[in-house]
Every structure is written in C-alpha cells, then in structure tokens.
Amino acid sequence: MKQLLIVFLGGGTGSVARFLLSKWLNSPSTGLPYGTFLANVLGSFLIGIILGYFYKTNTISQNTMLLLATGFCGGFTTFSTFAYESHILLKNNDFLSFGLYATASIIVGFAAVFLGMWLTKTI
C-alpha cells in the first residue's frame, strides 16, 4: 500500500508539471505542442538519469525510484518509459524487438487516438 501511495504522489506531481508546462508553452496560434514535446524529451532525459544513476550506484532506494521514475516521470510523460525500454532493447542488441516495439507503439498509439476520436463522434 505504501508503494502505491508513493507512485500516486509522484504521478500526480508529474501530471501537474506536464499540465503547467503545456499551458505555458503550447502554442494556440500554431497548434504545435511545444510543451508536450518538451515534457516528453525532459521525461526521457530524467528517467535516463534516475535509472542510470540507480543502476550505476545502487544508492537510490526502491521507494525513491518509484516516486521519481515510475511516479513523476510516468505522470510527466509515458514517453519516458517507452524511450528507456527502447534503450534497453538496443543496448541488448535486440534490434528486431526494438523495431517491432517502436513501430507498433507509434502505429497502435496513433490508431488508438484516431479510433477513440472516431468513436466519440459516432456515439
């Protein structure tokens, strides 16, 4: 139960940070989601630092890793987890799994968005 609360707090904080960044940087005039893009890039960078430091030094507690990597980065952006998992596949020279995972994630993710949008129009 304690770990769920830790992830919940980190995720909530990350979600609020992403919301504020998007409100600040997303451009209504161009429609380009600069804030979201920056959140994805920063989240990927942060999860790389957090997990890289954890695996290198093993000095971060499991609860701290849950708060920062799973919670905050997960709430800030799920793209960070995707990028980290892709990194692991590449690091393990599993190029086929990387290609399938990355391609499927992008295609299925876009398809799910379009399907959801289509369903909301038809229901």
What residue has token string 């695996």?
55
Residue 52 lies in a domain: yes
Residue 83 lies in a domain: no
Task: Say what the pLDDT of residue 119 is.
Answer: 84
- Compute the 3-state secondary structure of the chain and give helix, strand, coil in percent, each to the nearest 5: 85, 0, 15
Residue 123 lies in a domain: no
Residue 90 lies in a domain: no
- The response to whether 74 counts as a known ligand-binding position is yes
| pLDDT tens track, the chain, 123 positions | 999 999 999 999 999 999 999 889 987 777 778 888 899 899 999 998 998 888 888 888 999 999 999 999 999 987 888 898 899 999 999 999 999 999 999 999 889 988 988 888 776
- At 79, the amino acid letter reads F
Residue 116 lies in a domain: no
Residue 107 lies in a domain: no
Residue 103 lies in a domain: no
Residue 26 lies in a domain: yes
Domain with 60 in it: 2-77
Domains in the chain: how many in total? 1
Task: Say what the pLDDT of residue 37 is.
Answer: 85
pTM, two decimal places: 0.75
Tokens representing 115 are: 């399907």
What residue has token string 């990927």?
44
Distance CA 38, CA 36 (A): 5
